Amino acid sequence: MLLPLYQVDAFTDRPFAGNPAAVCPLTEWLPAEIMQAIAAENNLAETAFFIPKSGNEYEIRWFTPAVEVELCGHATLASAHVLYRHLNFQAPEIVFHSKSGPLRVSQGAEGRLTLDFPARPPQPLSTHPDGLLDGLRATPLSIHAGPDLVCVFNSEAEVRALHPDMTHLARVEYRAVIATAPGTDGIDFVSRFFGPRVGVPEDPVTGSAHTTLVPYWAERLGKTTFHARQVSARSGDLWCELRGDRVLMSGYAVTYLKGEIEVGA
């Protein structure tokens, strides 16, 4: 069985930056173990699979090399890019039905794609979870818990300088650990995302993390629109807005590879 496969760099306007995602359009679902095996073979942070539902609606699922996840921003952005750029999708909005509910993606005149995701505000924690300080090799100013653990630092330089011990960090009983701090030079806040527990030691640019970061920074800075940057080695930019209980995240995407994979005998 031959299946189409695309590799897309998301949240960037140039190749070899942003977050690479594999996208595999399907006509019907494959067994979960086959999709997991494809994701492990791709060995990218996420592989997205989608099938048509009706009109502008699709069902979508995401797999890291190790597990299926309930929400992924960059691979959703990459999937929308594949539909618009390669599969002749024409409607102004795509609706992806997922385990996290309906996720809408629209394309702006300037070429940026905008994700409409649920906001997931974090709550402050008064104690350090087991493994956190040994894992980060640094002590944050404050810690907040949402689906991921948010560790707030004083400066961008501190976030960039982190060199975590992934063995210890994998003991932290959250999906992932996010480090964040105020940005500089017009960037409202920066972040890095560590997910050894789900098979992603460091994710280059993480849309889902911003469903938690944007509500945090909105409360702290008293504003609702942001230019955010994830300061991994590959780096990537997001233009975000908190709109009630939703977070809008906009970014660019570029195709790196398109081809076919052969699955089964």
pLDDT at res. 265: 52
pLDDT at res. 190: 98
Which regions in the chain score pLDDT beneath 50? none
Determine how β-strand 177-182 pairs with β-strand 149-152: parallel
DSSP assignment of the chain: -EEEEEEEEES-SSTTSSEEEEEEE-SSPPPHHHHHHHHHHHTSS-EEEEEEEETTEEEEEEE-SS-EES--HHHHHHHHHHHHHHS---SSEEEEEETTEEEEEEE-TTS-EEEEEE----EEESSPPTTHHHHHTS--SEEEESSSEEEE-S-HHHHHH----HHHHTTSSSS-EEEEEE-STT--EEEEEEEGGGTEEEESS-TTTHHHHHHHHHHHHT-SEEEEEE-SSS-EEEEEEEETTEEEEEE-EEEEEEEEEE---
- Give the type of residue at 104: R
* C-alpha closest to that of 98 among 230, 201, 207: 207
- Length reported for the chain: 265
**Token pair listed for 20:** 């690479």
Catalytic annotation, pick one of 46, 68, 173, 202:
46
Model-level pTM greater than 0.75?
Answer: yes
**Rounded to whole angstroms, how far apart are CA atoms 107 and 113?**
5
pLDDT at res. 131: 93
Q: Is 46 a catalytic residue?
A: yes
pLDDT at res. 237: 97
